[in-house]
Chains A and B, each alone.
Chain A
């Protein structure tokens, strides 16, 4: 019986051709301009895999060095560089990027969207990551690699103890790779909440989408803390602002707080998406819906939150009061509960499988993951106990623990993912026979390598040692670990061999749902994703609607063509996924690549103190972004289109419903997280060293009250001017010069407030190099400068759009975004004024 479907078949002549033309992928050398999520996704995953292999090679060098006592295969200094680069590369250049890459590749397919909402942002993120990552990694070949460990603790990493540019490469390189990660997070949040297919409410969303949503939210909160930390450390190294120098009121432990506030959630940032992938594969292999869908969602949310309450457990031995240790010890144990919920849910789904859970290569990797991750979880609870942590801190026990968590919790699910989803984008599946060899080599190799490290740790072997003397009882265990590492590497090498042999990327001729999965990524696809966007009624639509694939392919669901003639997808409401408008998306272009090159040049040239070329690179980036953005806002030239079922949707949206507004809100959350981390740092340093704050002898006093009041008035006036400018936006086709004037005055008012605030402290005689207090005061101005610079660029852009006739009461997204950021800037600056001028008198 034919069901009631949004559109009828056969579809009109030429509809499919228009769709194909709109989504065509550039060929030849122009492939680098492609923005289609499948192209970007494959490239992204390939790059991440390359970094995984490079970091793995460094690990093999380390294991070879440690195989026998008193070995001198590599020098001590080089060993320091390679263990730092191994950890840094694995965490920053492999683990987070590969997860984002999977999000870019899989999410649009799982949500049956034609692409993520900001395809050029994805392209920018991938190119920034590839260029920056390769340059950063290459430092290991020039004796320029950082050597302070992947967490780069000061005072070791201050200029005094780490001269040269090695540490700067870490600080600037990582800072900008994190910008790439945040760009990806914006894409994922907006994509998950706004581009789901009609009918796919939050409670029907695939678990991987839930996991990615929480992953991206965690990046928004966690990454700004380490971005602030890297800024502080780089500024101290370059200009001598003493944030971490104890003699001037700074504190090296501030770095640890900032780093681990990012660093511990980072573990879950990596793990949650991997768990999401497992939650997608297990039901397919069991041929049974996931047992405890709600519980898994609860576990993901709870893990996301609890992971932010654990950072101090990396600092148990730093002299924090016992009671505080108790809070974080409790949280560290509490996080095991949601992780346990997921493990039991997967086991229950496997047990419910009918006729039984299928043992395939992905299944083997999942079972391996369950075993290894559970062991890592148990040792995690052990090190969450303060007395145990005191004993094993900085020993190989900890090395064993986190490799069990990270390799078990992330790498094994990732390899399951490669075997499971390769058929979605390849003409061939990977080999099942070789896959089983790969699994067993990796599983045995991993355990042989890392299990003995628990014992070497308990025997007292510290982390990061270059070599060790004979007679401590560590020799045999280290040799076993080294043998295991090579077996593990053999497994990875076999996988790479199979990948070269079998992986043949394609958009249209992929293997047809080989596992019999129930989710939308297994619908027939082409460069445009699915022919039509399905109307979804359950969590496993392909199981519950057996005709769905055929109906979608016949174009009988939503948006079967390209009614505007370009790239587009449906934007739906965040909770119930009701269609709201059709988003028009950009196609291929050089600008994301050029902007990424400019940004990489800016950061990397700055690292080697080539200031002028760095500034020129920064200008290239900004110009490229302007050109890129100029054509994004099409305006409502085609007012609305029919998508099916009698639903007619606008093709342009401004205000809180628009995806651009959502992206700006996400960006503001990131900026506010950064500022909250700053406020924490300010208060923390005051707690540590109140003697360098005003009112103490020899410390310049606060500026007269007229200064902050003037700055505050300017901020409020600037906001009012921006708001008034919004009300004076001209109607389409008309002019209203007062708009540009008011917006310009608003921008000037904010700049004046910024200068006023900086000057106010300068005229008291306070200098940023004087003390931690001085450094924190001027840091506030520096953070405000960043936001105001972004606001000014957006305001100038809006004014340019206005003079070009592309900004009016209907076509107003550019102005709305600038105004939103200005209002945020106003709040940040006012909060800063209250803190910097109101707190010291209160505290004294």
Chain B
């Protein structure tokens, strides 16, 4: 927003909801991933589904969430446009940067948690 003249238009795009989703896309996917893998691991182990099933679920969930998130990171500006943040809009570079960096941190979190499946036994108690 550059001048007093701009203030006379009370509307704005994108809407608040779209902007918040854009800024928090990565962390939301991270939350979804943690919920899925923890829920699945608990359920499969409780129902006696076996370690292999649990491991496969964790790996599948990790791939299914990490791949689209990586794609968004690769085409960040295009993703921004999809959420209604036009090129050259005031603050556009900052919004893109925040979305990219939260996405990057989340991707690391997803991969970090997901690799546990490759290292640890699924249903054995640690102690």
Contact = CB atoms under 8 A, between A and B. Distances in A.
Contacts of A319: 125, 127
B75 interface: no
Interface in A455-497: none
Interface stretch (A298-306, A397-405, A797-805): A298-306
Given A298-B101, A326-B116, A331-B113, A576 B90 contact: yes
B110 to A, nearest CB: 9
Interface in B93-116: 94-95, 97-98, 101-102, 105-106, 108-109, 112-113, 115-116
Contacts of B38: 312, 324, 327-328
Contact of B98 (A298, A330, A577, A578): A298
Given A323-B58, A323-B120, A334 B108 contact: yes
Interface centre among B12, B14, B43 (most CB of A within 10 A): B12
Contacts of A645: 4, 7-8
A306 B112 CA distance: 13
A576 B14 CA distance: 10
A331 B6 CA distance: 44
A578 B9 CA distance: 7
B71 interface: no
Contact of B116 (A295, A323, A580): A323
B36 to A, nearest CB: 10
Given A321-B124, A390-B127, A645-B4, A578 B116 contact: no
A337 B42 contact: no
Q: Which one of A304, A323, A330 has the greatest number of beta carbons of chain B within 10 Å?
A: A323
Contacts of B123: 321, 323
Interface residues of A, number: 56
Nearest to B101: A298
A646 interface: yes
Contacts of B121: 322-323
Interface in A300-355: 301-302, 304-306, 308-309, 312, 316-317, 319-331, 333-334, 337-338
A198 interface: yes
Contacts of A573: 10-12
Contact of B31 (A305, A322, A326): A305
A693 to B, nearest CB: 13
A320 B120 CA distance: 13
B17 to A, nearest CB: 10
Contacts of A575: 12, 14, 16, 19
A324 B41 contact: yes
Interface in B9-53: 9-12, 14, 16, 19, 23-24, 27-28, 30-31, 34, 37-38, 41-43, 45-46
Contacts of A577: 1
A737 interface: no
B91 A202 contact: yes
B105 A302 contact: yes
A687 interface: yes
B118 to A, nearest CB: 10
A330 B43 contact: no
A305 B37 CA distance: 17
B73 interface: no
A202 to B, nearest CB: 7
B63 to A, nearest CB: 16
A6 interface: yes
Contacts of B109: 306, 309, 330-331, 334
Contacts of A646: 8
Determine which residue in A326, A334, A386, A687 has the highest number of CB atoms from chain B within 10 A of its CB, and name it. Answer: A326
Interface string A628-649: 0000000000000000011101
A704 B109 CA distance: 46
Given A301-B102, A331-B34, A316 B4 contact: no
B14 to A, nearest CB: 7
Interface in A107-128: none
B1 A201 contact: yes
Interface residues of B, number: 56
Contacts of B24: 301, 305
A322 B6 CA distance: 57
Interface string B53-79: 011001000000000000000000000
B125 A305 contact: no
A574 B117 contact: no
Contacts of B115: 330
Interface in A528-548: 535
A751 to B, nearest CB: 32
A193 interface: yes
Given A316-B126, A330-B109, A575-B16, A295 B10 contact: no
Nearest to A304: B27
A579 B124 contact: no
Contacts of A328: 38
B119 to A, nearest CB: 7
Given A301-B27, A306-B109, A316-B126, A579 B34 contact: no
Given A309-B34, A338-B105, A573-B10, A323 B41 contact: yes
Interface of B: 1, 3-4, 6-12, 14, 16, 19, 23-24, 27-28, 30-31, 34, 37-38, 41-43, 45-46, 54-55, 58, 90-91, 94-95, 97-98, 101-102, 105-106, 108-109, 112-113, 115-117, 119-127
16 contacts: A203-B95, A294-B101, A301-B27, A305-B27, A305-B30, A306-B30, A323-B120, A325-B126, A330-B116, A334-B105, A338-B105, A573-B11, A578-B11, A579-B10, A647-B7, A687-B43
Interface of A: 4, 6, 193, 198-199, 201-203, 294-295, 297-298, 301-302, 304-306, 308-309, 312, 316-317, 319-331, 333-334, 337-338, 386, 390, 535, 573-580, 645-647, 649, 687-688
Given A294-B98, A298-B98, A325-B126, 10 more contacts: A301-B24, A305-B27, A312-B38, A324-B38, A331-B112, A331-B113, A390-B127, A575-B14, A575-B19, A578-B6
Enumerate the 7 nearest inter-chain pairs by beta-carbon distance, A residue then B residue, closest first.
A326-B116, A305-B27, A203-B91, A298-B101, A574-B16, A330-B112, A203-B94
